[in-house]
């Protein structure tokens, strides 16, 4: 789990994951230099907390290197997983030809337009075989290492990883829903956020520098 200044979200997510630790799951948090209390809050609720370089791709790669399991699951700190997530993931990857997958996503807000947004996200992912970080990507460790992990780019690392993994197998698209925060959608406006996401994704597919796209995405 990569975090950066997630003190307001981290306890709820890690608390929801505690039952998985009793199911032979290892919980690793990779911090990118938080200036809040996120690390202190995470330490008693995780098996390991790493502090390293800022950058979600590098943080997740660092966490993967420290993990001991055969299956890696990458989860954002503002997400709440279904209670049987570990069982679902293991079942999804039982077949040897299945190497990776993701959950459907549900945005936390109640506005009707958010239901349309999440439905479009899930449908597009199922159609294209591209998963986003909000969907909780899981992958066999051997396949993750074979493709070289997350490309070390400032943004779109989830899209880039999906492209690499698709060369080996289509993703298992679980219909069980992973709830993720709709804070950005509600703060910046739903339609405005949709347009921004499509603008950034189109620019990336056309070859734009991910570092420049990250500056646009993260600017105040």
Locate 193 and state its tokens.
């956020």
User: Tell me: domain 2-182, CATH 3.90.550.10, correct?
Assistant: yes
What's the pLDDT score for residue 77?
93
Residue 187 has pLDDT above 80, yes or no: yes
Residue 18 has pLDDT above 80, yes or no: yes
pTM over 0.75: yes
For residue 105, what are the β-bridge partners? 178
Reduced DSSP (H G I as helix, E B as strand, rest coil) percent helix, strand, coil of the chain, to 5: 50, 15, 35
Domain boundaries, the chain: 2-182
Residue 22 has pLDDT above 90, yes or no: no
What's the pLDDT score for residue 131?
97
Gap between the Cα atoms of 209 and 220, Å rounded: 20
Average pLDDT across the chain, whole number: 95
Give residue 140's pLDDT band: very low, low, confident or very high (50, 70, 90): very high
What's the pLDDT score for residue 135?
97
Task: Residue 153: count other Cβ atoms within 10 Å of its Cβ.
Answer: 19
Question: How remote is the C-alpha of 47 from its chain's centroid?
Answer: 19
Phi, psi of 83 (to 5 degrees): -65, -25
User: Which whole number is the average pLDDT over 128-139?
Assistant: 97
Residue 220 has pLDDT above 80, yes or no: no
| Share of residues in the chain with pLDDT > 70 (%) | 100
């Amino acid at each position: 789990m990569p975090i950066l200044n997630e003190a307001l979200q981290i306890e709820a997510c890690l608390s929801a994951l505690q039952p998985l630790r009793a199911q032979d799951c290892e919980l690793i948090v990779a911090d990118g230099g938080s200036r809040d209390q996120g690390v202190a809050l995470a330490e008693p609720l995780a098996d390991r907390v790493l502090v390293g370089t800022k950058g979600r791709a590098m943080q997740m790669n660092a966490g993967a290197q420290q993990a001991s399991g055969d299956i890696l699951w990458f989860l954002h700190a503002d997400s709440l997983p279904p209670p049987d997530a570990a069982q679902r993931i293991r079942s999804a990857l039982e077949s040897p030809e299945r190497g990776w997958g993701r959950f459907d996503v549900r945005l936390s807000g109640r506005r009707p337009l958010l239901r349309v947004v999440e439905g479009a996200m899930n449908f597009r992912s199922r159609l294209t075989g591209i998963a986003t970080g909000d969907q909780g990507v899981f992958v066999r460790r051997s396949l993750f290492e074979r493709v070289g992990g997350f490309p070390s780019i400032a943004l779109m690392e989830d899209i880039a990883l999906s492209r690499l993994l698709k060369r080996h197998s289509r993703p298992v698209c679980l219909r069980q829903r992973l709830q993720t925060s709709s804070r950005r959608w509600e703060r910046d406006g739903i339609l405005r956020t949709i347009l921004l996401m499509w603008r950034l994704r189109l620019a990336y597919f056309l070859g734009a520098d991910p570092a420049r796209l990250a500056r646009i995405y993260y600017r105040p």
